[in-house]
A = this chain, B = another copy of it.
Amino acid sequence: MQFELSKEFLETIELAIQNSNLEWLKDHVLSLHDADIVSILDELAFEPASFLYHLLGEEIQGDVLMELDEDLRETLIKSFSNKEIAEQVEQLDSDDAADLMNELSDKQVEEVILQISDEETAEYLVDLLNYDADTAGGLMKKEFILARLDWPVKKCVIELRRQAEDVEKIFTIYVIDENEKLVGFLSLKRLLFANATELIENLYQDKNVISVKTNEDNEEVAKIMEKYDLVAVPVVDLQNKLVGRITIDDVVDIIKEEADKDFQMASGISENIESDDSVWKISRARIPWLVIGLMGGVFGAQVISGFESGISQVPALAFFIPLITAMGGNVGVQSSAIVVQSLARGTDKFSSILAKIWKETLVALLNGLLLSLLVYGLAVFFDSVTLGLVVSFSLFTVIVFGGIFGTLIPLLLNKYKIDPALATGPFITTLNDVLGLFIYLTIGVLMYGI
């Protein structure tokens, strides 16, 4: 049922573009779903992509443009005149139009707005451009359907017909009072089956009306829509006047982006990159954490050099250095990951920091005991009872400390409004490496009596 882009089909398309075989392109490419055209354009080089893009019907060009891979979209936009951009903007929903404008320079924004012929579109845009892109205001669209409390069903249906031209998907009709304040909502289903003379007042639902403020944070909007299972949420200003609505498709994008960001942060990647980005961009995104890891390694070298004479007397002490550092890192990453997720989900919020650390300590004691016993046997088998005691005792200590730091650091970051996901990954690994080395070698020197 679904279209699946194959390498062969892509090559055929490239050939057809080369030969300007418009007939074939029209039958086999332009007739596809917008989303499939996007996936084709994303795989083409700029020249053929631009050629194909300009063959698209005007009414879908804008939608396709906004779904393209960032790099291609930027290059395409640069190749457009202000007049062309204005034409695309007029075809878009207001939220997408604002997103497009946000990719332009301030000066170009002004010029494009002057070129927009539809007054309402220009007005919507100017309004939306006021909001921060990371807030509900920056996410909302101005197209929604509303009805007033004092309208009869008949008038509402007529109004609906007029308003609906601008609204791609109707989910809910928002009901306002005479001061434009949001008071409730009405499902299309309810309206459809109501008596023509009935007043909206007697039909609408005013209980538990969920809305968000224009300055609400994007991620908070996503959480609210998820919690209340909403496909659209109305946006109100500080006076509770209805100013826009946010639909679930935009929120799905936010949820995905947020998850990607956390995953990349936990993996030590500092910018949002994709595997088809340039070598240079990928390198740059990865270097900051590597430098931090390097510094941690140099600190570690400093710690070990303090025990140089001990190691030259008992070189076996060096054997288990990687085990200790790796385990400290692993435990730290595990415990910080649990804290980061619980903070992101908003669960477990009534237990105090102390209670959380206490719980993590119990987990660490349990796992530490088990793993210490295991490593004791292995190290004795490997070298001697003394080394077995040193390794198992220090592993136990490192696991407990690693767990406590792994819990504490993201909680502290969160308290000071820093993204706690920063703590997962290289940061906590590096810290626990250095700490683990110090614990291990101190215990070693003490127990070997050197």
Contacts and interface: CB of A to CB of B under 8 A. Distances in A.
A27 B206 CA distance: 16
Contacts of A412: none
Contacts of A371: 287, 290-291, 294
Given A298-B323, A322-B301, A370-B287, A248 B231 contact: yes
Contacts of A348: 274-276
A310 B331 CA distance: 31
A324 interface: yes
A413 interface: no
A383 B279 CA distance: 34
B264 A252 contact: no
Interface residues of A, number: 129
B297 A324 contact: yes
Contacts of A374: 291, 294
Contacts of A325: 322, 325-326
Contact of A347 (B208, B227, B276, B300): B276
B367 A286 contact: yes
Contacts of A383: 305
From A7, A338, A347, A359, name the one whose CB has the most chain B CB atoms within 10 angstroms: A338
B256 A213 contact: no
Contacts of A297: 320, 322-324, 326-327, 375
A340 to B, nearest CB: 8
A266 B269 contact: no
Interface stretch (A16-24, A79-87, A122-130, A426-434): A426-434
A326 B429 contact: yes
Contacts of A309: 315
Contact of A7 (B256, B269, B350): B350
A311 to B, nearest CB: 5
Interface stretch (A50-58, A107-115, A187-195): A187-195
A340 B168 CA distance: 35
A430 to B, nearest CB: 7
Interface in A240-263: 248-249, 251-252, 255-256, 259-260, 262-263
A275 B340 CA distance: 10
A337 B267 contact: yes
A226 interface: yes
B35 A228 contact: yes
A95 to B, nearest CB: 13
Nearest to A33: B208
Contacts of A329: 326, 329, 429
B339 A301 contact: no
Interface string A43-62: 10000000000000000000
Nearest to A311: B315
A173 to B, nearest CB: 11
28 contacts: A33-B210, A39-B227, A43-B350, A169-B171, A188-B188, A231-B249, A259-B259, A259-B263, A263-B341, A267-B336, A274-B342, A276-B342, A280-B366, A289-B330, A290-B330, A290-B334, A291-B374, A293-B327, A294-B327, A296-B322, A297-B320, A297-B326, A304-B319, A305-B319, A308-B316, A308-B319, A318-B321, A325-B325
Which A-B residue pairs are the 9 nearest by beta carbons?
A297-B323, A259-B259, A267-B337, A275-B342, A300-B322, A301-B319, A33-B208, A318-B318, A312-B315
Given A283-B363, A301-B319, A333-B425, 15 more contacts: A35-B228, A35-B229, A229-B249, A255-B256, A259-B260, A273-B338, A274-B348, A276-B348, A279-B366, A286-B367, A293-B327, A296-B322, A297-B322, A312-B312, A329-B429
